[in-house]
Amino acid sequence: MKKTLLICFTLLVSYTVQSQTADSVKWERKGSLGFTFANVGLSNWAGGGESSVSLGTIFNTTATKNTALYTWKNQVDFALGGAKLGDREFRKTDDNIILSSQYKRKINENFGYSASSILRTQLLEGNNYVADPLNPGEQLAEKISNFMAPGYLSVNLGMEYSSGDIFTVSFSPAAGKFTFVMDDQLSAAGAYGVAPGDNVRAEFGANILTSLNLKLMENIAFQSKLNFFTAYDSFGNVDTNWETLLVMKINKWFNATFGTQLIYDDDILIKGADGNLSREIQFKHVLNLGVNFKLFETGN
């Protein structure tokens, strides 16, 4: 089954490469880079508290080709942030790498056959900080993630419905989800659902992906991506990934963004305060205020 899925995806990629040379439609490319900074400085402050510094960067680029026969969109999203509180070292607060490619062979204006691949991972090691029993007041770093540990690759073949650039939903009855744990320490512990000592776990099932893009006001936009996956050998256990992003443009250079991500994965066990492992809903939100540069926007 894995070989069949790989062959289908290889043929599809070959076909799309051939298709893009069959017409003279140009690529539309967009790219942006943003930076955020926040600082709190305290000296002899009677109200208490700790000084802090936080830094972040966001990079996004897309390349889209839209012809009468097909649409092909490729996207790269990268975010990295860290904060320093008091005398502690900088600690990671945001770390995300997403590479995606979506191809749609049009049947009519709204429907088409679709194929997509999405790779998600992070750049730096992630740690959970626990109290040091030998040094009261100090904390120990416990590694819980790393580059491609985990890494998630999803490959989806199916049908897609779209209503312009506003709403898209795709159903893929032939979908593969590959979980990578390339860190030997985490692999040996069987992290993220892989068998202890293994680096890859492959699942075959069905996938539903929805995308919503709304312009709420002249300078405010909202995006939402909701993904459901269930493996056929454990049908009914649904892995969920829901991401939202609210972008508020202040002027040409400055903007504010508020993003959220909710994850539920049946294979991921979270260690609680009592040290026990359990399946939990993961949630994070990120509020950024900073400067944003448009690197390029071309139709060439």
Mean pLDDT in each 10-residue stretch from start to end of the chain (300 residues)? 46 47 72 92 82 93 94 95 89 95 94 96 93 81 94 97 92 97 95 94 96 94 96 93 94 90 88 78 91 82
Output the pLDDT for position 5: 44
Topology annotation, domain 55-298: Porin (2.40.160)
- Angle (CA) 201 202 206, round 5°: 135
Question: What is d(CA 172, CA 154) in angstroms, rounded to the nearest whole number?
Answer: 11
**pLDDT computed for residue 160 by the predictor:** 96
State both tokens at 58.
Answer: 């966001």
Residue 237's pLDDT is what? 92
**For the chain, domain boundaries:** 55-298
- Specify whether the CB–CB gap between 268 and 246 falls below 8 A: no
Distance CA 183, CA 191 (A): 10
Q: CB-based burial of residue 246 (10 Å sphere; 0-12 exposed, 13-18 middle, 19+ buried)?
A: middle
Of 151, 177, 191, residue with least CA distance to 238: 177
DSSP string, 69-94: SEEEEEEEEEEEEEEEETTSPPEEEE
Whole-structure pTM value: 0.85
